[in-house]
A and B are shown apart, each in its own frame.
Chain A
Amino acid sequence: MFKFWKWARSASLALALGFATAAIVINEAEAETLFRLGVPEDALTLDPIASSDNPSIWAELLIYDTLIRPATNGVDLEPGLAEKWTVAPDGKEYVFTLRDAKFADGTSVTADDVIYSLKRAAGEKSDWARFFKPITNYEAVDQHTIKMTLDTPFTPLLNNLALFSGSILPKSSESDAEFFSHPIGSGPFVLKEWRKGDRIVLAKNPHYWQQGKPAVDMAEIQVISEDNSRILKLQAGELDAIINIPFNQLKQLQSAAGIKTAAADVFRVEFVQLNTKKKPFDDQKVRQALNHAVDKQGIVDSVLFGNAVPAASSIPIMRYHNTELKPYAYDPEKAKALLAEAGHAEGFSTTMLLPAGDDKLRNAGAVIQDNLQKIGVKVELQSLEGGAQWDTTKAGNYEMSLSYATSDTIDPDQLVGFTVVNPERANAYHTEWKDDRVNELYEAERKTLDGPEREAQFKEIEARVNEGAPYIFLYHQKAAYAWRDNVEGFAVLPTSNYRLEDVTMK
């Protein structure tokens, strides 16, 4: 017996010594400036035309450049690889002038690379072909000038070119089947190593066209799926910044020494889809009554700890937002009156689908259930896994469904098409709501050059959506993130991604 304890003691001592040595070795390796970001999910692929998940998209935006890109304010487009561009007054000709930029391997970015990449993005294998197909002809005027022609004007094109799927790859990658395991772009970083499920290691692109950027030599995007672990890792100094912080932990983190937090306004909207094909949701008055019955500010305060703003429509607060619209006021009396006018003075019973596993939406669902109870509407909650919820609403087998939408672009066109135009892509996100004027305005908006006229079209769309109420409009949820105070310049942008080239470390 005694022998065993002696053995155990020496074994644990050896173990401890081993770990201590390992720790020293690890610390010595950190000589360059390294920025470590903790994220909840790993990327799936670095092929921009085969990506639809945010982690992949955000990693691609650090490795590749697009011709133009959304500015950090989320309102304007700014030059990317193209230093300038012109759009013909008839909206059928776009000319881009490339800057003197190089790919990370030192070769210059030319018009041929751009044409190759965009044709690929509009091609057979692309999930995003629809975004680029309106371009019917490409012409390399010279090494640095590309002329694109369209058969019919298509105003969202500029925004589509600013999307990840419009990333510019070297034409030489065409023959390399393994290109996306060691991709080369002209973006601020180059992929050094991708340990799947663990981290993406990025090194500074020495040829990046923005002088002095990135300021850090290396950036690591570490995958820590568990929220608590990610927070603890930041507190222990093993990470320099993290995203996706649960709101209930934000306050506590705010007061932690050496840590700063923020909640970014991102292009996102939460709502309850109403199946307007089913009674009583086919009646606009009923839908408006439901909107009046839900205490949006109450949900924002109690469930989201104030990290959201009530919504007036299914379009995020972004360019061309109709600022005159106000969210439906919380007014149970008015709701009851509207229900009575619609012939439902006694209320009715219904069910609402909820996405399983999203605790914020689940809690919001409970509040909505309680709110609606007060006007006589009995709601049974039914939790469904995300894929199943989509299938159920798509098939029209639902009455109410709690969901959300996010926008990849800074142009409202994408979410207008998705949430309120019928049929377009998803029959107004499965609400089956159909407003001919909205459809008409959508057609017109896509052919109108950016300016006051297009702005008026979007504002009218949003006003009609607000009145027609195919959803219970809830709120625009923010994105909480945190960083250690030796980090500067880390921010989550309105498009939810981040520019690590702007990060500096003290």
Chain B
Amino acid sequence: MYLLRFTILRLIQMLPVLIGITLCVFLLLRVMPGDPATLILGRRGTAEDIARLSAQLGLDRPIWQQYLLFLWDIAKGSLGQSIAYRAPVGPLILERLPATLLLVAYSTVLTVLMTVPVAIFVAMRKDGPADLLVKALFVVLMSLPPFWLGILLILFFSIELHWFPVSGYGSNIIENLWYLFLPALVIALATSALTIRSLRSSIIAVATADYVDTARAKGLRPGTVMRRHILRNSLVSTISVLAVHTSWIIGGTVVVESVFAVPGLGYLLVSSIFTRDYPMVQGLTVTFAMLVVLISLLTDIAYALIDPRVRYD
């Protein structure tokens, strides 16, 4: 019950954060040189054409009015009209949201799948050659630009082996998972470098705790000790690392989305900035902000579920 109350409280706390974010984005966009009507018509239009389009887009109003209109739109559950697409922003974002969400979720799952076994494996061989090798390997993977790592994976898995398509998204969930495997792997490899280090250290620290000795002394099998006593207690810090990283990924899928031609939000954001599509950039920022807040909420809930001692009162 208290979790539900906590969730609702957190959602209410989101409001001022979101308003702050909208204000920042709104002002930053207006400070940027370049105006949308000129960018649309510039090379081909006359000054009158540009003025007419500006008026049509509502950009001739005072800035504070534009901002209030934007807030009013949000209150009505709409994100306004895209300047570049000449269509409502909301549906355009919703159309692309699944690809980005799936990519983020997929890469998180792959990260966990890689992190847990590898971390256990190296933690049990602390400072041995395998530990050092894994450490070195993931430091290299993390340092590779995602763009380049992506191309390498495409060359190997798609061009040489023909296991996966070079890029794209697919049209049903099976195809989605198949198409998104390499992009998700690129993100997961970089993320795992962090989570493996974090989980490894926790495991090593926890493994020396008295209650672990007790568990062993009780005659529990090593697998059970690892699962019930060591892993569970080690996960909390790794979850925070993963959560922070996932929030970062949401805004940072741009490169991976563009290398693998995933029709997600990241690329939409970049192209919208170039065309000065104010409503679209604002809408996307609000969407990203909500996702990040939601993830931190989910993280807090995950803490509580994993560690019964954690309470948010």
Contact = CB atoms under 8 A, between A and B. Distances in A.
Interface of A: 1, 3-5, 8, 18-19, 21-23, 25-26, 41, 44-45, 47, 50, 52-53, 125, 127-130, 195-198, 222-226, 228-229, 232-233, 235-236, 238, 385-388, 390-392, 394, 405-406, 408, 414, 418, 424-426
A5 B113 CA distance: 11
Contacts of A386: 34, 39, 274
Instruction: From B86, B99, B120, B177, name the one whose CB has the most chain A CB atoms within 10 angstroms.
Output: B86
B158 A388 contact: no
B178 A23 contact: yes
A19 B42 contact: no
A285 B46 CA distance: 31
Interface of B: 32-35, 38-47, 49, 53, 56, 84-87, 92, 95-96, 99, 113, 117, 120, 147, 151, 154-155, 158-159, 162-169, 171, 174-175, 177-178, 181, 222-223, 226, 258-261, 263-264, 267-268, 271, 274, 276
A390 B260 contact: no
Contacts, number: 154
Contact of B33 (A128, A197, A387, A408): A387
20 contacts: A4-B117, A26-B175, A44-B84, A45-B87, A52-B40, A130-B45, A195-B263, A197-B99, A197-B267, A222-B261, A223-B263, A225-B261, A226-B259, A232-B151, A233-B167, A236-B166, A238-B165, A392-B33, A406-B43, A418-B44
Nearest to A45: B86
A347 B260 CA distance: 49
A130 B46 contact: yes
A390 B49 CA distance: 16
B174 A18 contact: yes
The majority secondary structure among interface residues of chain B is helix
Given A127-B49, A130-B49, A387-B34, A52 B260 contact: no
B44 A390 contact: no
A223 B261 contact: yes
A129 B41 CA distance: 12
A229 to B, nearest CB: 5
A425 B175 contact: no
Contacts of A390: 34, 38-39, 42
7 pairs of A and B residues whose beta carbons are closest in the complex: A387-B34, A197-B263, A198-B263, A224-B261, A388-B33, A233-B166, A22-B174
A232 B147 CA distance: 14
Given A8-B117, A44-B84, A405 B45 contact: no
Contact of A228 (B40, B45, B259): B259
Contact of B38 (A3, A44, A229, A387): A387
Contacts of A19: 163-164, 174, 177-178, 181
B223 A52 contact: no
A423 B222 CA distance: 84
Contact of A236 (B159, B263, B264, B274): B159
A484 B231 CA distance: 53
A125 B56 CA distance: 8
